[in-house]
Amino acid sequence: MNTPVTRAPHAPRTRRTTTLRTPGGLSLRLDVRAVAAGTALLALAGAAAVALIGSGDFPLTPGEVLRALTGGGEAGQRFIVRELRLPRALVGLLVGAAFGIAGAVFQTVSRNPLGSPDVLGFGQGASVGALFVIVYLHGGTFAVAAGAVTGGVVTGLLIFLLAWQRGIHGYRFVLVGIGAAAMLYALVLYLLTKANIVEATGATTWMTGSLSGRDWGQVWPLAAVCAVLVPLTLAYGRPLRMLEMGEDAAGALGVRTGRVRAVTLSAAVVLVAAATAAAGPIAFVALTAPQLARRLTRAPGPNLLPSAAMGAALLVGADWAGQRLFGADQLPVGVLTGALGGAYLVRLLITERRGGRI
């Protein structure tokens, strides 16, 4: 008679960590996989930027690009790299990082994978602000950017006020944002009907989302915003991780939940508005970057730095693919990210449905 064999339960998988100690006695524990994934994503973003700089009517090898960036090479190559193509790559890196870190904040605070700025209407709000300046004020590039930032910030304030009910709760926040996005999109269409043919063409081009024609005038303001708000958001990484457990649990652990939400969401809204002003409402980077980063790191919490690196790599890589795959047509990066992100959103909705969460 055979005796059934009872298997011992699998021990829970432990994560490899390392501890760094400072001379002052402080210690910092690092997740090895998360650090390795974040480093690989940063390297990937840098490689994509070098490939993007080398693409165009006058192609350059990666070695020529690096020599031009460090002051070597021919004078013509240095001009092409530094003055014509480097600003485009830097805007792509900064915009992608801003979208990635903002998406991670929104999804953490709402505790919902659909809690993304482009799904919740912040991109549409920035579009309304920019179109109002184009159609009614006939403003230039700086005025349009200021209108986009104002529209995004005002939209954020309205959504927070409408969704607030003793705190921000996931699905109410998402539903209010989706409703606001629909109304704002209708307002965008209305503003387009009021524009003349030249204004409508410029507005449509801006709304597509593109890195084409970007110069140092877009780099420096966005870099200044990121230099202030990205470190501020990273400083709240630990409270955000606790906030994922729920407001009551985080409060019991000493987290000032109201302050954490107010600071991080405000920073995320301004990051989205500034990025949208620089490159247009590029869709779905903020939605996909945090989730892809979390799948790579397999670490709990918002994964702010990996999300920023993933967003930068996705956006610059998509812009490079738009040039390489479509040749002289140079498909705008917003079209490519919209197509890929839409497919990812459908997959996410199916996964959420099967999990009984929607």
pLDDT per position as a tens digit, 25-54: 555 566 777 788 888 999 999 999 999 998
Q: How far apart are CA 146 and CA 181, in angstroms?
A: 20
Q: Does domain 112-281 have CATH number 3.40.50.300?
A: no
Spell out the alpha helix ranges (H) of 80-140.
86-110, 117-120, 122-132
Query: For 230-264, what is each residue's pLDDT tens digit?
Result: 999 998 888 888 877 766 676 676 777 778 888 88
Query: Using an 8 Å Cβ cutoff, are 330 and 320 in contact?
Result: no
Q: How far apart are CA 349 and CA 130, in angstroms?
A: 31
Q: How far apart are CA 287 and CA 341, in angstroms?
A: 8
Q: pTM (2 decimals)?
A: 0.84
The answer on pLDDT for 126 being more than 80 is: yes
The answer on pLDDT for 314 being more than 60 is: yes
Q: Calculate the CA dihedral of residues 257, 260, 262, 267 and round it to 10 degrees.
A: -160
Q: How far apart are CA 306 and CA 296, in angstroms?
A: 9
Q: How many CB atoms lie within 10 A of CB 73?
A: 18
Query: Using an 8 Å Cβ cutoff, are 119 and 125 in contact?
Result: no
Query: For 151-174, what is each residue's pLDDT tens digit?
Result: 888 888 888 888 776 666 666 777
Enter the DSSP assignment of 133.
I
Nearest to 97 by CA among 272, 252, 266, 254: 272
Domain boundaries for CATH 1.10.3470.10 within the chain: 112-281
